[in-house]
Structure 1
Amino acid sequence: MRLLLTSGGVSNPSIEAALVDLLGTPIAECDALCVPTAEWGHPYCTPASAWRFVAGRGGSPITGLGWRSVGLLEPTALPSIGRDRWEPWVRAADVLLVDGGDATYLHHWLRESGLADLLPELTDTVWVGVSAGSMVMTPRIGTEFVEWDPPSGDDRTLGVVDFSIFPHLGMPENTMEAAETWAQQLDGPAYVIDDQTAIVVPGEGEVEVVSEGTWRHLPD
């Protein structure tokens, strides 16, 4: 699986160019599935914010980029319908568009649904994450970003990549000083990124930062 891990979505031409490069074909020729699940785990999210994501409204609407088709994939529903039904939908998609919210809630339902087990087989699929949709791919998110009470009792997530992500740098509480404190609890490296920055993972062990904003690697 190829990853485009963003803080604020496809928010500038550099990030959009990186997305097209990962896809290997124009956006208009690609089929997408959008995943709003992380929204349900975060107290700041609402049915209205989930709708805006699905409908392609808001600041950086990744569902509104001009895909050939966009479908809705809800991992909380998948255990009740059977893998034989939903797996073909996922395999047929060129890209998964995964919204923000609470990364531990998203992680829980990726595991419970079985979708997490399928991800390693999706070698030609692109994962576009926004905020928690990106953080879920990391080993840990830090306790500061846990808003839901995960059954595991900790901040662990999928660990597809070997670094953590501190998103939304520049928001009032998301200062560089806060990021430095956050990083001290983690066992590995981390990227601090603002909403004009994305981390591109085109293959295992490959990492590139694309930015028209501000970012930092910790430790320096």
Structure 2
Amino acid sequence: MKLLLTSGGITNPSIEAALLDLLGKPIAECHALCIPTAQWGHQMLGPQSVRSFIVGDPQRGMTTMGWASVGVLELSALPTVGRERWEPWVREADVILVDGGDATYLTHWMLESGLAELVPRLDTVWVGLSAGSMVMTPRIGADFVSWTQAPDDRTLGVVDFSIYPHVGHPMMPENTMADAERWAADLGLPAYAVDDDTAIVVVDGQVEVVSEGTWSQLA
């Protein structure tokens, strides 16, 4: 699995170029699946925001980029469908586009569905937006848990660092670099604080930051 972990989506040419490099072929030749599941776990999101992600928001790319096809994969439905049916859909996709929301809720359904076990073995590009990126980290910190039934702040731990997203976002004035430093100190893990013009590429354990904005590597 190749990871493109973003805060705000495909928001600038540098992040788009990184995506194209990971895909290894034009977007118009790639088949995508989008996962809106994390939204259902966030207290401020719901049917309208899920629809917006699926239909597409040109400002953050993702589903509006001209893919050969875009399908919807709702993880909470997968346990009732049967793995023999849904696993081929995932394996045949060139890219999986994963929206934000609550990363602990997304973690729950990735484990419950069996997708978490499959993901590390896929030759597919995972493009996360906010929680869709944070789900791959070991922990997200209590500040970012919105799902009321979350047992704790643990996520999948596919990568060995945590992510503080949306630094400096005008709608999230509390997301400052100073707060990110406090958050990282509480976690006690390697971490990155990133704004919406920054992405983290992870391939075979190698980490590269791609940015036209603001970011910091935190101890």
Look up the match of 1:125. 124
- Equivalences for 1:41-60 in 2 at 5 Å? 41-57=41-57, 59-60=59-60
**Correspondence 1:40 to 2:44:** no
Look up the match of 2:83. 83
1:160 is paired with a residue whose SS is coil
CA shift digits 1:5-37 (9 cap, x unpaired) = 000000000000000000111111000000000
1:76 is paired with a residue whose SS is helix
1:43 is paired with a residue whose SS is coil
CA shift digits 1:58-91 (9 cap, x unpaired) = 5213000110000000110000010000000000
1:201 is paired with a residue whose SS is strand
1:207 is paired with a residue whose SS is strand
Distance (Å, rounded) in 2 between the aligned partners of 1:61 and 1:48: 18
Distance (Å, rounded) in 1 between the aligned partners of 2:48 and 2:218: 35
Residue 194 of structure 1, CA deviation: 0.1
- Equivalences for 1:4-153 in 2 at 5 Å? 4-57=4-57, 59-122=59-122, 124-151=123-150, 153=151
Distance (Å, rounded) in 1 between the aligned partners of 2:6 and 2:56: 16
Residue 214 of structure 1, CA deviation: 0.2
Q: Which structure 2 residue ranges, 5 or more long, are not aligned?
A: none
Look up the match of 1:199. 200
CA RMSD of aligned residues (A): 0.9
Distance (Å, rounded) in 1 between the aligned partners of 2:157 and 2:124: 18
- Equivalences for 1:152-191 in 2 at 5 Å? 153-171=151-169, 172-191=173-192
**TM-score where L is the length of structure 2:** 0.96
CA shift digits 1:34-54 (9 cap, x unpaired) = 000000000111211110100
Contact 2:58 2:64 in 1 (8 A): no
Distance (Å, rounded) in 1 between the aligned partners of 2:102 and 2:58: 19
CA shift digits 1:68-116 (9 cap, x unpaired) = 0000001100000100000000000001000000000000000000111
Q: Which structure 1 residue ranges, 5 or more long, are not aligned?
A: none
Aligned length, in residue pairs: 216
1:185 is paired with a residue whose SS is helix
Contact 1:53 1:61 in 2 (8 A): no
Distance (Å, rounded) in 1 between the aligned partners of 2:34 and 2:149: 23
Distance (Å, rounded) in 2 between the aligned partners of 1:32 and 1:52: 17
2:187 is paired with a residue whose SS is coil
Paired amino acid for 2:166: H
1:192 is paired with a residue whose SS is strand
Distance (Å, rounded) in 1 between the aligned partners of 2:3 and 2:113: 21
Distance (Å, rounded) in 1 between the aligned partners of 2:4 and 2:217: 17
Q: Percent identity?
A: 69
**Stretches of 4+ moved more than 3 A in 1?**
none
